[in-house]
Every structure is written in structure tokens, then in C-alpha cells.
Amino acid sequence: MSGHHHHDDHDHDHEGSELSEVALRVRTLESLLTEKGYVDPAALDALVEVYETKIGPRNGARVVARAWTDPAYRDWLRRDATAAIADMGYSGMGGAHMVALENGPGVHNMVVCTLCSCYPWPVLGLPPVWYKSAPYRSRAVIDPRGVLAEFGVTLPPDTAIRVWDSTAEMRYLVIPERPEGTEGWDAERLAGLVTRDSMIGTSLALSPDAAR
């Protein structure tokens, strides 16, 4: 499996204590507030969804847009993604290194965590439910093309699909291809085309038309 990294020391409790503690605190707070009637659980779900799909991934979108518009930054991201991403103010993953995977003509990268749900949360926020699901975790490795098709992505038959397995020590950010028709756009406008799923590799960046 080209590009598939597997580490034997990849065990189930490595969500990273920082994430579990935060998640735990959030959960405790949630149940307290819900009990006291301060918070409507539906409103809470809506809040989580905003963080999952909008607020969280905005960080990653800014990283991608900067890479699209600034060749020096793009090179730095290729060489040392951890430092390049920290330069944007996004870090806090304990011992984890970030690796940027660049999509290009003939190559599409896709990220999975086969043993649990390691996820680059400083740049992407909360992992979507499907990322943590057993079918995605197993099938992304066995049949990435089929999984992509289910997400509505059909790549040319000669495009190589590389699947990368996240671990506690290594997390990945996919840099999708810059959409055509965006010449002259500034980084802020470009960031609006970068979706969470395009940075996991289960979709492409939006076309200017789709973004409208």
C-alpha cells in the first residue's frame, strides 16, 4: 500500500491526554449545564457542529490558502509542517508532528486513523463522526477509490491515491489542489474554498462557482 505508514506502538489510548482531558471537561460541563436547564442539548449539538465544520477547519483553510499564495511558505510546509503551522499560531498537540501532504496532478492523498481517531485538531477542530467510524477506518485503506466515490469524488483512473495512517506521533494535513479560475485571489478569499473534508482528502477544494 503506497504511502501507508503503520506503527506497532499505535495503541488505543493515544488520543493524546490533552484531547481526552479537554473532551472530558467539556462533557462534564455539558451535563452540568444541561441538568440545570441552562443549555438545550440541541443547541449544544449545533455548537459542536459549528466547531466541527466551520470554526475548527478555518485554521487549516488559512494554512492551505497561504501555501497556495506564498511559494516560500509552501516550501516551508513541505520541509517542516509542524513549524510552518505553528508560525500561523496553530499548535498544541503535545509530541505530535504535522506533515503536509500535497495533492497534485496524478496524486491524491487521503488520511485515516486505522486504530482510533488521531486527528490534527489544532488545524481541523473536531473530527467528524464518520472519521471515527469503523467502516471508514477499515475501508479507506482497502478501497480508497470506493470510499471517495461515496463522498462524491471521482478521480481519473490513473490518479494514484495515497492513504496515510495518522498516529499519536504523526498527523497529516492534506493540501488540496488550488481550484482553477482563482487567479489573483487573495489568501482570505481562497480560504473560503478550503473545506474540512478537502484537508482530510475525502473531497476536493470547492470551485469558485460552488463557493458562490
What CA–CA distance (Å, rounded) separates 212 from 200?
Answer: 22
Q: Convert the pLDDT of each residue in 17-26 to its tens digit.
A: 455 676 777 7
Q: Convert the pLDDT of each residue in 63-117 to its tens digit.
A: 999 999 999 999 999 999 999 999 998 886 666 799 999 999 999 999 999 988 8
Of 2, 31, 118, 133, which residue is the catalytic one?
118
Of 2, 31, 91, 116, which residue is the catalytic one?
116
Catalytic residue flag (residue 113): yes
Closest-CA residue to 202 (of 98, 105, 118, 127): 127
DSSP conformational letter for 115: S
Of 2, 117, 133, 207, which residue is the catalytic one?
117
Question: Which phi and psi angles does 142 have, rounded to 5°?
Answer: -80, -40
What CA–CA distance (Å, rounded) separates 46 from 49?
Answer: 5
Catalytic residue flag (residue 2): no
Bridge pairing between strands 97-102 and 170-175: parallel
pLDDT reported for residue 37: 75
Domains by residue range for the chain, with CATH: 17-211 (3.90.330.10)
Mean of per-residue pLDDT scores for the chain = 85
pTM score, two decimals?
A: 0.78
pLDDT at residue 16 tops 70: no
**What is the pLDDT averaged over residues 5-15?**
43
Residue scoring higher pLDDT (211 or 142): 142
Other CB atoms within 10 Å distance of the CB of residue 34: 14
Of 20, 91, 113, 207, which residue is the catalytic one?
113
pLDDT reported for residue 39: 67
User: Which residue in this structure is represented by grid cell 485538531?
Assistant: 121
What CA–CA distance (Å, rounded) separates 109 from 175?
Answer: 9
